[in-house]
Amino acid sequence: MISLSKIKSVVVTSGKRVLKVLQFGVKTADEVSPYGDDSSPLNGMTAIYASTSEAGEQVIVGYINTNQVAKQGEKRMYSQESNGSISFYIYLKNDGTCEIGGDNDNAIRYEALNTEIQKQVSDINIELGKIATAIGSIGGTYVVAPIVVDLNSSKIEEIKVP
């Protein structure tokens, strides 16, 4: 039998999530989820509660999602605060874009940015050399202090883009 129930509490014991639900009284059930998915529902969410062919083995097979915005062909993962508001999301859109936590700004391609900045640094250093030569030709002195820009500490190795 499959029925709807309300999440009362969630406990993780020995790497296994056990949920206490209200379904014709208080009951407990193990959570079933896709491989690699580790998410925990908020209290008060509506769960899909099912009995198995094993006596006394009930499972939660899913939840009623009340925050759906993904269009056909899209996928969105999100976390929520205890009051139900969305705290963070990753949204794979059907137009080939991915939003990570919002859509107000853009990520950059590190290699392309570093190449352009190093080119600009080189051009500036060449111009500083010309300035030093010009000042020297009129009897003054100017010691060039080359500009160096190192972006390596800003590179995120764990996130790759095409």
Domain 2-63: which CATH number of 2.60.40, 2.40.50, 3.40.50, 1.10.10: 2.40.50
pLDDT of residue 51: 80
Across the strands, what pairs with 115? none
Q: Return the sign of the alpha-carbon dihedral for residues 29, 33, 35, 37.
A: negative
pLDDT of residue 118: 96
Instruction: Say how far apart CA 59 and CA 63 lie, in whole Å.
Output: 12
**C-alpha 10: how far from its chain's center?**
24
pLDDT of residue 44: 84
pLDDT tens-digit readout, 1-23: 776 677 778 777 777 677 777 77
Which of 9-18, 22-31, 118-127, 147-156 is predicted most confidently? 118-127
Least confident of 30-34, 44-48, 105-109, 138-142: 30-34
Strands 46-51 and 26-31: unpaired
Instruction: Say how far apart CA 83 and CA 80 lie, in whole Å.
Output: 8
Q: Range(s) for CATH 2.40.50 in the chain?
A: 2-63
pLDDT tens-digit readout, 41-83: 888 888 888 887 777 778 888 888 888 888 888 999 999 998 9
